[in-house]
Copies of this chain bind each other. A is one copy, B any other.
Amino acid sequence: MPLTDPDRLFPVEPTLRGLARALYDSVANLPIISPHGHCDPRWFAENDRFPNPAELFVIPDHYVFRMLVSQGVPMTDLGVPRVDGGATETDPRKIWRCFADHQHLFRATPSAMWLDHSLEHVFGVDVALSPDTANDIYDHIDGKLAAPEFRPRALFESFKIDALATTEGALDDLHWHRQIRESGWKGRVVTTYRPDAVVDPEFEGFADNVAELGRITGEDTSTWAGYLAAHRARRAYFKEFGATASDHGHPTARTEDLPPDAAEALFFKALLGTCTADEADAFRGHMLTEMARMSLEDGLTLQIHPGSRRNHNAAVFARHGRDRGFDIPGRTDYVAALKPLLGAVGMEPGLTIIVFTLDETAYGRELAPLAGAYPALKLGPPWWFFDSYEGIKRFRETTTETCGFYNTAGFNDDTRAFCSIPARHDVSRRSDSAYLANLVATGRLREADAFEVAHDLAYGLAKTAYQL
């Protein structure tokens, strides 16, 4: 009996299941376009073996360890590093065992489905992880990781990844990407321009970051014109390493289109560290419009990831730093917030702005109506807590009737858990097949069209939206 049900996520009614299976079969083996994510380019540059199961599945994945933490397991038992360098568990087998002991917490979560898929389809494990099987599975995976076909580049190829985008800060010298390119390896690993540290006045060390941006570009970033020129130069540099997109993670979706002198004045306040919270938000918002204008010149797709309230718990942040599972979605307005940006560039048919959300109430009410009107705007796939069966279902049900399929941008896995990439795309392809099957069987979509749409959702839309 397989670890994963071959018909998982398909509707149960036999007609629907047959249709869903047929749709899925037509896209299951398409190559993967992974246009947004957080894999480490170093893996593909050095191509060293992955160290052990705990470092592959537990320690870097805040969606895994947060669930254990929520039930009282200390982060340090799971090997999460401490900011002060204090003691944290270092025995990967103990960490793995703790993970195994708490498997019931993951019942019916996407994490469980991704784990089972990775165990079975990447590592050939055929029993569920549990306290009883923890050691054997650890040894099994560890043994596999030693083999050449489990090195990062080999896995990349066996996953049939056409293109994988990583995300680097504006100040990154992209040396891992350079090393990949110089290695002669044919895998397409591209970077993404993520300038938060030089765009957000509230980012730690903003003024220093901007100064550094000037240093590495040779522009005078103490002036507004020089600062913008430095962005242009840096975007061009990122494009040399394959970038086709920029990405922006702001707490709100606010955009501004300020007159140049007002923007310049805010920039100086930001450098001096005297922005109020509202001014910092306005500056970030204005920079989205500047980035969109640069996109009109250099063709980068613009991604906006708003609405996460980062580091909700001060004690966890002080002890363990960023990205520890305490980033909580908040209510986000788009209609007023995006108006300045869309007023400036929204009618440009040559531009692609992809908006994500963590506030699902905006899908039907705001985002689908906006994407169904503005040529420049496309909807990103369900993000974070919602890149799951139910999340994808709600996304389709609340957006398709208003903006159709062709104002959406395909699937993103957005992960740093490399081995889960096939699993995540598989969930997306299955969930969309289930949705499409239901449309066909209820007379809302012709069957031949459904096969075309399935292909577009699995492959074509992401390729087009990200120019990959």
List residues of chain A with CB under 8 Å of any chain B CB. Answer: 4-5, 7-13, 15-16, 66-67, 69-72, 104-110, 112-113, 128, 309, 312-316, 325-326, 328-331, 333, 335-336, 339, 342-343, 346-347, 349, 358-361, 364-366, 368-375, 377, 385-386, 388-391, 397-398, 400-407, 438-439, 441-446, 449, 452-453
Contacts and interface: CB of A to CB of B under 8 A. Distances in A.
Contact of A438 (B12, B312, B360, B364): B12
Given A8-B444, A312-B342, 16 more contacts: A7-B442, A12-B13, A70-B373, A70-B375, A72-B349, A104-B452, A106-B404, A107-B453, A108-B400, A108-B405, A113-B444, A309-B335, A328-B335, A328-B373, A359-B365, A389-B444
A72 B375 contact: yes
21 contacts: A9-B443, A11-B12, A12-B441, A67-B403, A70-B407, A72-B375, A104-B406, A107-B445, A108-B400, A108-B404, A108-B439, A113-B444, A315-B343, A328-B373, A329-B369, A330-B333, A330-B336, A331-B365, A360-B361, A360-B365, A364-B385
Contacts of A9: 442-444
A372 B336 contact: no
A316 B347 contact: yes
Contacts of A108: 400-401, 404-405, 439, 444-445, 453
A21 to B, nearest CB: 12
Contact of A402 (B71, B109, B441): B109
Contacts of A326: 373
